[in-house]
Structure 1
Protein backbone atom coordinates (compact mmCIF):
# COMPACT_ATOMS: atom_id res chain seq x y z
CA UNK A 1 0.00 0.00 0.00
CA UNK A 2 2.81 2.42 0.91
CA UNK A 3 4.84 1.33 -2.13
CA UNK A 4 2.14 2.69 -4.45
CA UNK A 5 2.41 6.21 -3.02
CA UNK A 6 4.25 8.83 -5.05
CA UNK A 7 6.73 11.47 -3.97
CA UNK A 8 4.01 14.14 -4.02
CA UNK A 9 2.16 12.21 -1.29
CA UNK A 10 5.03 12.94 1.12
CA UNK A 11 5.70 16.55 0.14
CA UNK A 12 4.56 18.13 3.40
CA UNK A 13 6.75 15.70 5.33
CA UNK A 14 9.69 16.46 3.04
CA UNK A 15 9.42 20.22 3.58
CA UNK A 16 9.40 19.74 7.35
CA UNK A 17 12.31 17.29 7.30
CA UNK A 18 14.49 19.41 5.02
CA UNK A 19 13.96 22.58 7.02
CA UNK A 20 14.63 21.13 10.48
CA UNK A 21 16.76 18.02 10.10
CA UNK A 22 19.63 19.01 7.87
CA UNK A 23 22.81 16.90 8.14
CA UNK A 24 24.69 19.86 9.65
CA UNK A 25 21.95 20.38 12.26
CA UNK A 26 22.07 16.71 13.21
CA UNK A 27 25.87 16.87 13.47
CA UNK A 28 25.54 19.82 15.85
CA UNK A 29 22.95 17.92 17.87
CA UNK A 30 25.34 14.96 18.15
CA UNK A 31 28.02 17.16 19.71
CA UNK A 32 25.56 18.46 22.31
CA UNK A 33 24.00 15.07 23.02
CA UNK A 34 27.17 13.04 23.60
CA UNK A 35 27.64 14.32 27.20
CA UNK A 36 23.86 14.08 27.75
CA UNK A 37 23.95 10.44 26.69
CA UNK A 38 26.60 9.63 29.29
CA UNK A 39 24.76 11.68 31.91
CA UNK A 40 21.64 9.60 31.29
CA UNK A 41 23.69 6.41 31.60
CA UNK A 42 24.94 7.60 35.00
CA UNK A 43 21.47 8.64 36.18
CA UNK A 44 19.85 5.38 35.05
CA UNK A 45 22.35 2.91 36.50
CA UNK A 46 24.01 4.80 39.36
CA UNK A 47 21.05 6.85 40.61
CA UNK A 48 17.85 5.05 39.60
CA UNK A 49 19.47 1.59 39.65
CA UNK A 50 22.03 2.56 42.33
CA UNK A 51 24.73 0.14 41.23
CA UNK A 52 26.93 1.16 44.18
CA UNK A 53 24.37 0.99 46.99
CA UNK A 54 20.77 -0.15 47.28
CA UNK A 55 20.68 -2.04 43.99
CA UNK A 56 17.32 -2.47 42.27
CA UNK A 57 15.69 -5.91 42.29
CA UNK A 58 15.06 -5.71 38.55
CA UNK A 59 16.22 -8.97 36.88
CA UNK A 60 19.51 -9.01 34.95
CA UNK A 61 20.35 -5.47 36.12
CA UNK A 62 24.13 -6.08 35.92
CA UNK A 63 23.87 -7.57 32.43
CA UNK A 64 21.78 -4.64 31.23
CA UNK A 65 24.30 -2.21 32.71
CA UNK A 66 27.13 -3.95 30.82
CA UNK A 67 25.20 -4.02 27.51
CA UNK A 68 24.12 -0.38 27.81
CA UNK A 69 27.68 0.71 28.60
CA UNK A 70 29.08 -0.76 25.40
CA UNK A 71 26.06 0.39 23.42
CA UNK A 72 26.74 3.94 24.65
CA UNK A 73 30.43 3.62 23.74
CA UNK A 74 29.66 2.47 20.18
CA UNK A 75 26.96 5.10 19.69
CA UNK A 76 29.32 7.82 20.95
CA UNK A 77 32.06 6.80 18.51
CA UNK A 78 29.61 6.74 15.59
CA UNK A 79 28.20 10.15 16.51
CA UNK A 80 31.71 11.62 16.64
CA UNK A 81 32.41 10.20 13.17
CA UNK A 82 29.21 11.74 11.81
CA UNK A 83 30.04 15.22 13.06
CA UNK A 84 32.53 15.46 10.17
CA UNK A 85 31.09 16.90 6.97
CA UNK A 86 32.55 14.23 4.66
CA UNK A 87 30.76 11.43 6.50
CA UNK A 88 27.43 13.12 7.21
CA UNK A 89 27.05 14.33 3.63
CA UNK A 90 28.13 11.05 2.05
CA UNK A 91 26.13 8.79 4.38
CA UNK A 92 23.06 10.87 5.22
CA UNK A 93 20.75 7.89 5.67
CA UNK A 94 23.06 6.30 8.24
CA UNK A 95 23.33 9.63 10.05
CA UNK A 96 19.54 9.82 10.25
CA UNK A 97 19.36 6.27 11.61
CA UNK A 98 21.84 7.35 14.30
CA UNK A 99 19.64 10.36 15.07
CA UNK A 100 16.63 8.06 15.57
CA UNK A 101 18.63 5.72 17.80
CA UNK A 102 20.01 8.66 19.80
CA UNK A 103 16.61 10.27 20.39
CA UNK A 104 15.15 7.03 21.71
CA UNK A 105 18.25 6.15 23.71
CA UNK A 106 17.93 9.50 25.51
CA UNK A 107 14.18 9.85 25.85
CA UNK A 108 12.78 6.31 25.58
CA UNK A 109 15.17 3.59 26.69
CA UNK A 110 16.96 5.58 29.42
CA UNK A 111 13.79 7.04 30.89
CA UNK A 112 11.99 3.69 30.68
CA UNK A 113 14.78 1.76 32.41
CA UNK A 114 15.04 4.42 35.13
CA UNK A 115 11.34 3.99 35.92
CA UNK A 116 11.62 0.19 36.02
CA UNK A 117 14.70 0.31 38.25
CA UNK A 118 12.98 2.67 40.70
CA UNK A 119 9.97 0.35 40.85
CA UNK A 120 12.38 -2.54 41.46
CA UNK A 121 13.64 -0.92 44.67
CA UNK A 122 10.34 -1.46 46.45
CA UNK A 123 10.33 -4.40 48.86
CA UNK A 124 6.73 -5.07 47.86
CA UNK A 125 7.60 -5.70 44.21
CA UNK A 126 8.76 -9.20 43.26
CA UNK A 127 10.69 -10.08 40.10
CA UNK A 128 7.54 -11.66 38.71
CA UNK A 129 5.58 -8.42 39.19
CA UNK A 130 8.43 -6.43 37.62
CA UNK A 131 8.36 -8.62 34.52
CA UNK A 132 4.57 -8.25 34.27
CA UNK A 133 4.87 -4.45 34.49
CA UNK A 134 7.58 -4.57 31.80
CA UNK A 135 5.45 -6.75 29.51
CA UNK A 136 2.34 -4.58 29.94
CA UNK A 137 4.20 -1.30 29.37
CA UNK A 138 6.08 -2.63 26.33
CA UNK A 139 2.83 -3.95 24.85
CA UNK A 140 1.24 -0.55 25.40
CA UNK A 141 4.10 1.25 23.61
CA UNK A 142 4.04 -1.21 20.70
CA UNK A 143 0.28 -0.68 20.39
CA UNK A 144 0.79 3.10 20.24
CA UNK A 145 3.38 2.67 17.45
CA UNK A 146 1.14 0.31 15.45
CA UNK A 147 -1.94 2.53 15.75
CA UNK A 148 0.07 5.63 14.80
CA UNK A 149 1.56 3.89 11.75
CA UNK A 150 -1.88 2.74 10.58
CA UNK A 151 -3.23 6.27 11.03
CA UNK A 152 -0.25 7.62 9.07
CA UNK A 153 -0.83 5.21 6.18
CA UNK A 154 -4.54 6.05 6.01
CA UNK A 155 -3.81 9.80 5.92
CA UNK A 156 -1.09 9.34 3.28
CA UNK A 157 -3.48 7.39 1.05
CA UNK A 158 -6.06 10.16 1.49
CA UNK A 159 -3.51 12.72 0.26
CA UNK A 160 -3.26 14.53 3.60
CA UNK A 161 0.43 15.28 3.07
CA UNK A 162 0.19 16.55 -0.51
CA UNK A 163 1.13 20.18 -0.83
CA UNK A 164 -1.57 22.59 -1.97
CA UNK A 165 -4.57 20.30 -1.50
CA UNK A 166 -7.59 21.33 0.55
CA UNK A 167 -6.84 18.51 2.97
CA UNK A 168 -3.25 19.72 3.35
CA UNK A 169 -4.42 23.27 4.14
CA UNK A 170 -6.87 21.89 6.68
CA UNK A 171 -4.13 19.81 8.30
CA UNK A 172 -1.74 22.76 8.55
CA UNK A 173 -4.41 24.67 10.48
CA UNK A 174 -5.59 21.90 12.81
CA UNK A 175 -2.79 19.32 12.95
CA UNK A 176 -1.32 20.59 16.20
CA UNK A 177 -4.64 20.72 18.02
CA UNK A 178 -5.64 17.27 16.78
CA UNK A 179 -2.41 15.73 18.05
CA UNK A 180 -2.74 17.57 21.37
CA UNK A 181 -6.24 16.16 21.78
CA UNK A 182 -5.05 12.60 21.15
CA UNK A 183 -2.03 12.97 23.44
CA UNK A 184 -4.13 14.68 26.12
CA UNK A 185 -6.76 11.93 26.21
CA UNK A 186 -4.10 9.21 26.13
CA UNK A 187 -2.15 10.94 28.91
CA UNK A 188 -5.14 11.13 31.24
CA UNK A 189 -5.95 7.47 30.64
CA UNK A 190 -2.35 6.41 31.15
CA UNK A 191 -2.00 8.40 34.39
CA UNK A 192 -5.12 6.74 35.81
CA UNK A 193 -3.86 3.26 34.86
CA UNK A 194 -0.37 3.93 36.26
CA UNK A 195 -1.81 5.20 39.55
CA UNK A 196 -3.81 1.98 39.86
CA UNK A 197 -0.73 -0.16 39.12
CA UNK A 198 1.87 1.53 41.35
CA UNK A 199 -0.28 2.71 44.28
CA UNK A 200 -0.18 -0.69 46.11
CA UNK A 201 3.64 -0.58 46.25
CA UNK A 202 3.92 2.37 48.63
CA UNK A 203 6.08 4.75 46.60
CA UNK A 204 6.69 8.23 47.99
CA UNK A 205 5.41 11.37 46.29
CA UNK A 206 8.58 12.19 44.35
CA UNK A 207 9.11 8.56 43.31
CA UNK A 208 5.54 8.28 42.08
CA UNK A 209 5.86 11.49 40.06
CA UNK A 210 9.14 10.32 38.47
CA UNK A 211 7.65 6.93 37.53
CA UNK A 212 4.48 8.41 36.01
CA UNK A 213 6.36 11.12 34.09
CA UNK A 214 8.84 8.52 32.79
CA UNK A 215 6.10 6.30 31.39
CA UNK A 216 4.37 9.33 29.86
CA UNK A 217 7.57 10.40 28.11
CA UNK A 218 8.23 6.97 26.59
CA UNK A 219 4.64 6.78 25.30
CA UNK A 220 4.94 10.23 23.73
CA UNK A 221 8.15 9.05 22.05
CA UNK A 222 6.14 6.12 20.70
CA UNK A 223 4.06 8.71 18.80
CA UNK A 224 7.28 10.21 17.38
CA UNK A 225 8.86 6.96 16.14
CA UNK A 226 6.45 6.36 13.19
CA UNK A 227 7.15 9.87 11.85
CA UNK A 228 10.89 9.20 12.03
CA UNK A 229 10.48 5.86 10.26
CA UNK A 230 8.43 7.46 7.46
CA UNK A 231 11.15 10.08 6.91
CA UNK A 232 13.81 7.34 6.88
CA UNK A 233 11.76 5.38 4.34
CA UNK A 234 11.50 8.46 2.15
CA UNK A 235 15.25 9.07 2.38
CA UNK A 236 15.87 5.64 0.92
CA UNK A 237 13.12 5.88 -1.70
CA UNK A 238 13.26 9.51 -2.86
CA UNK A 239 16.36 11.44 -3.77
CA UNK A 240 14.74 14.79 -2.87
CA UNK A 241 14.72 13.85 0.82
CA UNK A 242 18.51 14.00 0.84
CA UNK A 243 20.88 16.95 0.54
CA UNK A 244 23.62 17.45 -2.03
CA UNK A 245 26.90 19.22 -1.55
Structure 2
Protein backbone atom coordinates (compact mmCIF):
# COMPACT_ATOMS: atom_id res chain seq x y z
CA UNK A 1 0.00 0.00 0.00
CA UNK A 2 2.82 2.42 0.90
CA UNK A 3 5.35 0.88 -1.46
CA UNK A 4 4.66 3.31 -4.31
CA UNK A 5 5.65 6.35 -2.24
CA UNK A 6 9.12 7.86 -1.98
CA UNK A 7 10.73 9.43 1.05
CA UNK A 8 9.85 12.88 -0.32
CA UNK A 9 6.17 11.98 0.05
CA UNK A 10 6.70 11.75 3.83
CA UNK A 11 9.05 14.72 4.14
CA UNK A 12 6.66 16.94 6.13
CA UNK A 13 6.42 14.26 8.83
CA UNK A 14 10.17 13.69 8.70
CA UNK A 15 10.96 17.34 9.26
CA UNK A 16 8.27 18.14 11.84
CA UNK A 17 8.02 15.02 14.00
CA UNK A 18 11.17 12.96 13.56
CA UNK A 19 13.58 15.89 13.78
CA UNK A 20 12.60 16.30 17.44
CA UNK A 21 13.00 12.60 18.20
CA UNK A 22 16.72 12.13 17.71
CA UNK A 23 18.33 9.00 19.18
CA UNK A 24 20.04 11.09 21.85
CA UNK A 25 16.75 12.77 22.79
CA UNK A 26 15.06 9.39 23.07
CA UNK A 27 17.92 8.12 25.22
CA UNK A 28 17.48 11.06 27.57
CA UNK A 29 13.72 10.47 27.66
CA UNK A 30 14.32 6.81 28.54
CA UNK A 31 16.42 7.76 31.57
CA UNK A 32 13.61 9.95 32.90
CA UNK A 33 10.90 7.45 31.96
CA UNK A 34 12.25 4.38 33.79
CA UNK A 35 11.11 5.58 37.24
CA UNK A 36 7.93 7.02 35.68
CA UNK A 37 7.09 3.62 34.19
CA UNK A 38 7.32 1.92 37.57
CA UNK A 39 5.45 4.76 39.26
CA UNK A 40 2.65 4.24 36.73
CA UNK A 41 2.69 0.50 37.45
CA UNK A 42 2.34 1.21 41.17
CA UNK A 43 -0.46 3.74 40.65
CA UNK A 44 -2.39 1.48 38.29
CA UNK A 45 -2.23 -1.76 40.26
CA UNK A 46 -1.66 -0.71 43.88
CA UNK A 47 -3.66 2.52 43.99
CA UNK A 48 -6.33 2.28 41.28
CA UNK A 49 -6.55 -1.52 41.46
CA UNK A 50 -5.61 -1.65 45.17
CA UNK A 51 -3.91 -5.05 44.92
CA UNK A 52 -3.29 -5.22 48.67
CA UNK A 53 -6.66 -3.98 49.91
CA UNK A 54 -10.09 -3.49 48.36
CA UNK A 55 -9.18 -5.22 45.10
CA UNK A 56 -11.02 -4.18 41.95
CA UNK A 57 -13.68 -6.47 40.54
CA UNK A 58 -12.24 -6.16 37.06
CA UNK A 59 -11.91 -9.65 35.48
CA UNK A 60 -8.42 -11.22 35.39
CA UNK A 61 -6.92 -8.39 37.44
CA UNK A 62 -4.13 -10.57 38.91
CA UNK A 63 -3.22 -11.99 35.50
CA UNK A 64 -3.10 -8.51 33.98
CA UNK A 65 -0.94 -7.32 36.87
CA UNK A 66 1.57 -10.11 36.20
CA UNK A 67 1.61 -9.52 32.43
CA UNK A 68 2.14 -5.77 32.88
CA UNK A 69 4.92 -6.48 35.38
CA UNK A 70 6.89 -8.47 32.82
CA UNK A 71 6.16 -5.93 30.09
CA UNK A 72 7.53 -3.24 32.39
CA UNK A 73 10.62 -5.36 33.07
CA UNK A 74 11.20 -5.83 29.33
CA UNK A 75 10.72 -2.12 28.60
CA UNK A 76 13.11 -1.22 31.41
CA UNK A 77 15.83 -3.51 30.08
CA UNK A 78 15.47 -2.13 26.55
CA UNK A 79 15.42 1.47 27.78
CA UNK A 80 18.64 0.93 29.74
CA UNK A 81 20.30 -0.61 26.68
CA UNK A 82 19.20 2.21 24.41
CA UNK A 83 20.69 4.90 26.59
CA UNK A 84 24.12 3.65 25.45
CA UNK A 85 25.21 5.62 22.40
CA UNK A 86 26.97 2.82 20.53
CA UNK A 87 23.80 0.72 20.80
CA UNK A 88 21.14 3.31 20.03
CA UNK A 89 23.04 4.69 17.03
CA UNK A 90 23.37 1.20 15.55
CA UNK A 91 19.80 0.13 16.31
CA UNK A 92 17.84 3.36 15.84
CA UNK A 93 14.79 1.58 14.48
CA UNK A 94 14.45 -0.71 17.49
CA UNK A 95 15.02 2.27 19.80
CA UNK A 96 12.13 4.08 18.14
CA UNK A 97 9.94 0.98 18.49
CA UNK A 98 10.74 0.87 22.21
CA UNK A 99 9.79 4.55 22.38
CA UNK A 100 6.39 3.75 20.85
CA UNK A 101 5.83 0.98 23.39
CA UNK A 102 6.84 3.26 26.24
CA UNK A 103 4.54 6.09 25.18
CA UNK A 104 1.53 3.79 25.04
CA UNK A 105 2.43 2.04 28.29
CA UNK A 106 2.61 5.37 30.11
CA UNK A 107 -0.05 7.47 28.43
CA UNK A 108 -2.39 4.95 26.87
CA UNK A 109 -2.52 1.59 28.58
CA UNK A 110 -1.64 2.84 32.06
CA UNK A 111 -4.29 5.55 32.34
CA UNK A 112 -6.87 3.36 30.60
CA UNK A 113 -6.37 0.43 32.99
CA UNK A 114 -6.43 2.77 35.99
CA UNK A 115 -9.82 4.07 34.88
CA UNK A 116 -11.21 0.55 34.41
CA UNK A 117 -9.88 -0.65 37.75
CA UNK A 118 -11.39 2.30 39.63
CA UNK A 119 -14.77 1.59 38.04
CA UNK A 120 -14.41 -2.07 39.03
CA UNK A 121 -14.00 -1.21 42.72
CA UNK A 122 -17.70 -0.41 42.99
CA UNK A 123 -19.95 -3.22 44.21
CA UNK A 124 -22.63 -1.89 41.87
CA UNK A 125 -20.60 -2.73 38.78
CA UNK A 126 -20.76 -6.34 37.64
CA UNK A 127 -18.20 -8.14 35.52
CA UNK A 128 -20.62 -8.00 32.58
CA UNK A 129 -20.84 -4.21 32.82
CA UNK A 130 -17.06 -3.91 33.03
CA UNK A 131 -16.67 -6.06 29.93
CA UNK A 132 -19.30 -3.97 28.12
CA UNK A 133 -17.47 -0.75 29.00
CA UNK A 134 -14.18 -2.27 27.83
CA UNK A 135 -15.60 -3.52 24.54
CA UNK A 136 -17.28 -0.20 23.70
CA UNK A 137 -14.20 1.86 24.51
CA UNK A 138 -11.83 -0.50 22.70
CA UNK A 139 -14.13 -0.60 19.68
CA UNK A 140 -14.15 3.17 19.56
CA UNK A 141 -10.35 3.28 19.73
CA UNK A 142 -10.05 0.71 16.92
CA UNK A 143 -12.44 2.75 14.75
CA UNK A 144 -10.43 5.91 15.46
CA UNK A 145 -7.29 4.01 14.47
CA UNK A 146 -8.82 2.84 11.18
CA UNK A 147 -10.27 6.26 10.32
CA UNK A 148 -6.91 7.86 11.07
CA UNK A 149 -5.15 5.39 8.76
CA UNK A 150 -7.66 6.09 5.96
CA UNK A 151 -7.26 9.83 6.55
CA UNK A 152 -3.48 9.53 6.39
CA UNK A 153 -3.49 7.53 3.16
CA UNK A 154 -5.92 9.99 1.57
CA UNK A 155 -3.70 12.92 2.47
CA UNK A 156 -0.63 11.03 1.33
CA UNK A 157 -2.19 10.42 -2.09
CA UNK A 158 -2.97 14.12 -2.30
CA UNK A 159 0.66 14.96 -1.66
CA UNK A 160 -0.16 16.66 1.63
CA UNK A 161 2.99 15.37 3.32
CA UNK A 162 5.38 16.52 0.58
CA UNK A 163 7.51 19.54 1.29
CA UNK A 164 7.63 22.57 -0.97
CA UNK A 165 4.53 21.75 -3.02
CA UNK A 166 1.18 23.49 -3.30
CA UNK A 167 -0.47 20.65 -1.43
CA UNK A 168 2.00 20.99 1.40
CA UNK A 169 0.66 24.53 1.87
CA UNK A 170 -2.88 23.15 1.87
CA UNK A 171 -2.05 20.31 4.28
CA UNK A 172 -3.31 22.15 7.36
CA UNK A 173 -6.63 22.81 5.65
CA UNK A 174 -7.04 19.19 4.60
CA UNK A 175 -6.15 17.90 8.06
CA UNK A 176 -8.51 20.30 9.75
CA UNK A 177 -11.50 18.96 7.84
CA UNK A 178 -10.38 15.35 8.19
CA UNK A 179 -10.41 15.64 11.99
CA UNK A 180 -14.21 15.97 11.95
CA UNK A 181 -15.14 12.25 11.56
CA UNK A 182 -12.50 11.27 14.12
CA UNK A 183 -13.87 13.77 16.65
CA UNK A 184 -17.43 12.55 16.02
CA UNK A 185 -16.45 8.89 16.50
CA UNK A 186 -14.43 9.62 19.63
CA UNK A 187 -17.15 11.81 21.14
CA UNK A 188 -19.90 9.27 20.44
CA UNK A 189 -17.99 6.35 21.96
CA UNK A 190 -16.83 8.49 24.86
CA UNK A 191 -20.37 9.66 25.69
CA UNK A 192 -21.82 6.14 25.45
CA UNK A 193 -19.10 4.79 27.72
CA UNK A 194 -19.61 7.57 30.29
CA UNK A 195 -23.37 7.00 30.29
CA UNK A 196 -22.86 3.35 31.16
CA UNK A 197 -20.35 4.27 33.87
CA UNK A 198 -22.51 6.96 35.46
CA UNK A 199 -25.61 4.76 35.45
CA UNK A 200 -23.81 1.85 37.12
CA UNK A 201 -21.21 3.45 39.32
CA UNK A 202 -21.58 5.33 42.60
CA UNK A 203 -18.76 7.88 42.61
CA UNK A 204 -17.08 8.45 45.96
CA UNK A 205 -15.55 11.74 44.93
CA UNK A 206 -14.62 14.10 42.12
CA UNK A 207 -11.03 12.80 42.04
CA UNK A 208 -12.13 9.37 40.90
CA UNK A 209 -14.36 10.83 38.20
CA UNK A 210 -11.46 12.96 36.93
CA UNK A 211 -9.14 9.93 36.76
CA UNK A 212 -11.77 7.93 34.87
CA UNK A 213 -12.46 10.70 32.35
CA UNK A 214 -8.75 11.43 31.80
CA UNK A 215 -7.96 7.72 31.49
CA UNK A 216 -10.47 7.14 28.71
CA UNK A 217 -9.67 10.45 27.00
CA UNK A 218 -5.90 9.86 26.90
CA UNK A 219 -6.37 6.30 25.61
CA UNK A 220 -8.49 7.61 22.73
CA UNK A 221 -5.91 10.29 21.93
CA UNK A 222 -3.13 7.68 21.83
CA UNK A 223 -5.12 5.58 19.35
CA UNK A 224 -5.11 8.66 17.11
CA UNK A 225 -1.33 9.12 17.55
CA UNK A 226 -0.38 5.49 16.89
CA UNK A 227 -0.75 5.45 13.07
CA UNK A 228 1.75 8.29 12.58
CA UNK A 229 4.18 6.57 14.94
CA UNK A 230 3.90 3.35 12.92
CA UNK A 231 4.34 5.24 9.65
CA UNK A 232 7.54 6.84 10.97
CA UNK A 233 8.77 3.41 12.07
CA UNK A 234 7.99 2.04 8.60
CA UNK A 235 9.87 4.94 6.99
CA UNK A 236 12.86 4.39 9.28
CA UNK A 237 13.10 0.81 8.01
CA UNK A 238 12.54 1.72 4.37
CA UNK A 239 14.35 5.05 3.94
CA UNK A 240 17.84 5.99 5.05
CA UNK A 241 16.72 9.64 5.20
CA UNK A 242 14.57 8.85 8.25
CA UNK A 243 17.63 7.86 10.26
CA UNK A 244 20.43 9.85 11.85
CA UNK A 245 24.15 9.96 11.14
CA UNK A 246 26.87 9.95 13.83
CA UNK A 247 26.53 13.71 14.23
CA UNK A 248 22.88 13.32 15.17
CA UNK A 249 21.66 14.81 11.87
CA UNK A 250 19.07 13.27 9.58
CA UNK A 251 20.47 11.80 6.38
CA UNK A 252 19.55 13.68 3.21
CA UNK A 253 16.51 12.78 1.16
CA UNK A 254 17.53 10.14 -1.40
CA UNK A 255 16.59 12.21 -4.45
CA UNK A 256 18.78 15.07 -3.20
CA UNK A 257 22.03 13.12 -3.64
Whether these two folds match at TM > 0.5 is yes
The aligned counterpart of 1:67 is 67
The aligned counterpart of 1:199 is 198
The aligned counterpart of 1:92 is 92
Question: Structure 2: where are the runs of 5+ without partners?
Answer: 247-257
**Alpha-carbon shift at residue 43 of structure 1 (Å):** 0.2
**Alpha-carbon shift at residue 189 of structure 1 (Å):** 3.7
Change in Cα spacing, 1:18 to 1:141, as seen in structure 2 (3 Å) is closer
Measured on the aligned residues, the alpha-carbon RMSD in Å equals 1.9
Q: Distance in 2 between matches of 1:188 and 1:135?
A: 16
Q: How many residues get paired?
A: 244
C-alpha contact (below 8 Å) 1:145/1:226 kept by paired residues: yes
The aligned counterpart of 2:102 is 102
Equivalent runs, 1:1-150 vs 2, <5 Å: 1-150=1-150
C-alpha contact (below 8 Å) 2:160/2:171 kept by paired residues: yes
Tell me the TM-score normalized by structure 1: 0.93
**Alpha-carbon shift at residue 206 of structure 1 (Å):** 2.6
**Alpha-carbon shift at residue 179 of structure 1 (Å):** 7.4
**Alpha-carbon shift at residue 17 of structure 1 (Å):** 3.4
Q: Distance in 1 between matches of 2:76 and 2:187?
A: 36
Question: Structure 1: where are the runs of 5+ without partners?
Answer: none
Tell me the TM-score normalized by structure 2: 0.89
Give the match's secondary structure for 2:57: coil
Q: Distance in 1 between matches of 2:175 and 2:166?
A: 17
Report the more deviating stretch, 47-56 or 4-13. Answer: 4-13
**Alpha-carbon shift at residue 190 of structure 1 (Å):** 4.6
Q: Distance in 1 between matches of 2:30 and 2:90?
A: 17
Structure (1/2) with the larger helix percentage: 1
C-alpha contact (below 8 Å) 2:44/2:111 kept by paired residues: yes
Report the more deviating stretch, 14-23 or 105-114. Answer: 14-23
Q: Distance in 1 between matches of 2:183 and 2:132?
A: 26
Give the match's secondary structure for 1:4: coil
**Alpha-carbon shift at residue 151 of structure 1 (Å):** 0.7
Q: Distance in 2 between matches of 1:176 and 1:32?
A: 33
Q: Distance in 1 between matches of 2:178 and 2:99?
A: 23
